[in-house]
């Protein structure tokens, strides 16, 4: 939970809820710089929230555990219903 505390990291994980995406697509969908996204992706990856794979010169990220998405859905249900 601590690694997902930042609003941008929550947005990244929510965006990856739909499936695996490349860094470039994440930059376009989240709306910040590649260097900023990369810093947050590294933290999420190091904490085990995300998994990654390399395909040529692109890196693709996905949520590492479906339980993370379940927790995120519960948080949205509880805190975003008002």
For 33-73, the pLDDT digits (tens) are: 999 999 999 999 998 899 999 999 999 999 988 888 888 78
The set of residues, in sequence order, having a beta carbon less than 8 Å from that of 50 and lying 6+ positions away, is 13, 16, 41, 44, 61, 62, 63, 64
Question: How many structural domains comprise the chain?
Answer: 1
Record the pTM: 0.83
Neighbours of 31 (CB within 10 A): 10
CATH number at residue 28: 1.10.10.10
Q: Look at 54 and 17; give whichever has higher pLDDT.
A: 54
Q: What range does the domain containing 17 cover? A: 2-79
Tokens 């929510």 locate to 14
Q: 3 is written with which tokens?
A: 């690694």
């Amino acid at each position: 939970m601590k690694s997902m505390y930042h609003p941008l990291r929550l947005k990244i994980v929510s965006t990856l809820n739909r499936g695996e995406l490349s860094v470039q697509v994440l930059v376009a969908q989240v709306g910040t710089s590649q260097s900023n996204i990369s810093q947050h992706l590294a933290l999420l990856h190091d904490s085990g929230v995300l998994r990654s794979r390399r395909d040529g010169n692109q890196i693709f990220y996905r949520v590492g555990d479906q339980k993370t998405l379940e927790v995120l859905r519960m948080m949205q249900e509880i805190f975003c219903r008002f």
